[in-house]
Chain A
Amino acid sequence: MELKINGKIHNVDVEDGMPLLWVLRDELNMTGTKYGCGVSSCGACTVMIDGEATRTCTLPASTAAGKDIRTIEGVAQGGQLSAVQKAWIEHQVPQCGYCQSGQIMVAEALLDSNPTPTDEDIDKAMTNICRCGTYQRVRAAIHTAAKWRAEQTTLPG
Chain B
Amino acid sequence: MSEIRDNNHKKEKKGMGKWTRRAFIATGVLGGGLVIAGVAGNMYLNNAITKYSGEGMGDGESLNAWVRIAPDNTITLAVPRSEMGQGVYTSIPMLLAEELEVDMNSIKVIHPQPESPYANTAFLDPNPRKAYASYSVMQKVSAFLPVVGTGGSTSVKDLYDHLRGMGATAREMLIKAAADKWGVKPEDCYAESAYVINKSTKEKMSYGSLAEAAAKVELSENPPLKEQKDFKVIGKRVQRLDIPEKVTGAAQFGIDARPEGMVIAAIRHASTVGGTVNGISNEEEVLQMRGVKKVVLLDDGIGAAVIADNTWRAKNAAMALDLEEEANTLEKVSSTDISNMLNEVIENNLFAPTEAHGNVSEALSNAEGAVVEAAYEVPYLSQCTMEPLNCTLVINEGSAEAWVGHQGGSLVRDAINAVTGTPKDKIKVNITYLGGGFGRRAELDFVKKAAMVGKQMMGTPVQLVFTREEDMKNGMYRPAVASKFRGAVGADGMINAWEHKMALQSVGYSSMMRIMPAMADSPENDPQSSEGAVELPYAFKNNSVAFGELDLPAMQVGNWRSVGASQNGFFTESFMDEMAHAAGQDPYEFRKKHMEQSDLPDADRYLGVLNKVASMANWSTPLPAGKSRGIAILKSFGSIVGQVAEITKLGEKQIKVDKVYCVIDCGRIVNPDTVEAQMQSGIIYGLSAALFGEITMTNGQIDQQNFPQYEMVRMQTSPTVEVHIMEVDEYPGGVGEPATPPAAPAVANAVFAATGERVRSLPLIKHGYTFV
Interface residues of A (CB under 8 A from B): 14-15, 18-19, 21-22, 25-27, 29-39, 41-42, 44, 71-73, 75-76, 81, 85, 88-89, 92-101, 104, 122-124, 126-139
Contacts and interface: CB of A to CB of B under 8 A. Distances in A.
B712 interface: yes
Contact of A75 (B248, B385, B438, B720): B248
B255 interface: yes
Interface in B672-707: 673, 677, 680-685, 688, 706-707
Contact of B85 (A19, A73, A122, A132): A132
Contacts of B438: 131
Contacts of A33: 249
Contacts of A131: 384-386, 436, 438, 685, 712
B352 interface: no
A37 B707 contact: yes
B712 A129 contact: yes
Given A31-B256, A42-B707, A131-B384, 6 more contacts: A19-B312, A29-B258, A31-B252, A36-B707, A88-B247, A127-B714
A132 B684 CA distance: 7
Interface string B305-349: 000011111010000000000000000000000000000000000
Contact of A99 (B242, B264, B386, B434): B386
A99 B315 CA distance: 21
Contact of B242 (A27, A97, A122, A130): A97
Given A37-B706, A37-B707, A97-B435, A127 B715 contact: yes
Report whether over half of chain A's contact residues are helix, strand or loop; otherwise say mixed. Answer: loop
A124 to B, nearest CB: 8
13 contacts: A18-B310, A34-B386, A35-B311, A88-B247, A92-B240, A92-B673, A94-B242, A95-B86, A95-B87, A129-B714, A131-B438, A134-B677, A136-B720
B64 interface: no
A151 to B, nearest CB: 20
Interface string B282-316: 00000000100000000000000000011111010
A150 to B, nearest CB: 20
A26 B468 contact: no
A39 B313 CA distance: 16
A76 B708 contact: no
A56 to B, nearest CB: 11
B387 A98 contact: yes
B467 to A, nearest CB: 6
Nearest to B87: A95
Interface string B355-399: 000000000000000000000000000001111100000000000
The 3 closest A-B pairs by CB, nearest first: A32-B249, A133-B684, A98-B435
B310 A27 contact: yes
Interface in B234-255: 239-240, 242-244, 246-253, 255
A95 B677 contact: yes
A121 to B, nearest CB: 11
A25 B465 CA distance: 13
B84 interface: yes
B433 interface: yes
A136 B250 contact: no
B386 A96 contact: yes
A97 B684 contact: no
Contact of B311 (A22, A101, A128): A22
Contacts of B83: 96
Contacts of A18: 310, 312-313
Contacts of A122: 715
B256 A41 contact: no
B248 A133 contact: no
A33 B387 CA distance: 12
B721 interface: yes
B440 to A, nearest CB: 11
A42 B247 contact: no
Given A39-B706, A41-B706, A95-B86, A135 B714 contact: yes
B312 A22 contact: yes
B620 interface: no
Contact of B386 (A36, A81, A88, A127): A36
B386 A22 contact: no
Nearest to A73: B249
Nearest to B707: A41
A152 to B, nearest CB: 20
Nearest to B686: A133
Nearest to B239: A92
Given A92-B677, A98-B387, A39 B312 contact: no
Given A22-B310, A88-B243, A98-B253, A129 B707 contact: yes
Interface in B426-461: 433-438
Contact of A15 (B244, B252, B290, B718): B290
Given A97-B435, A99-B386, A127-B716, A39 B87 contact: no
Contacts of B467: 38
A39 B472 CA distance: 14
Contact of A36 (B242, B258, B388, B684): B388
Contacts of A31: 249, 252, 255-256, 258
B713 interface: yes
A73 B438 CA distance: 28
Interface centre among A26, A36, A138 (most CB of B within 10 A): A26
Given A36-B388, A98-B387, A137-B677, A26 B243 contact: no
B681 A129 contact: no
B725 to A, nearest CB: 15
Contacts of B244: 89
A136 to B, nearest CB: 6
B503 to A, nearest CB: 29
Nearest to A14: B310
A41 B704 CA distance: 14
A100 to B, nearest CB: 6
Interface string B108-129: 0000000000000000000000
B680 A136 contact: yes
Nearest to A101: B249
B475 to A, nearest CB: 14
Contact of B721 (A42, A128, A136): A136
A18 B312 CA distance: 7
Contacts of A123: 715-716
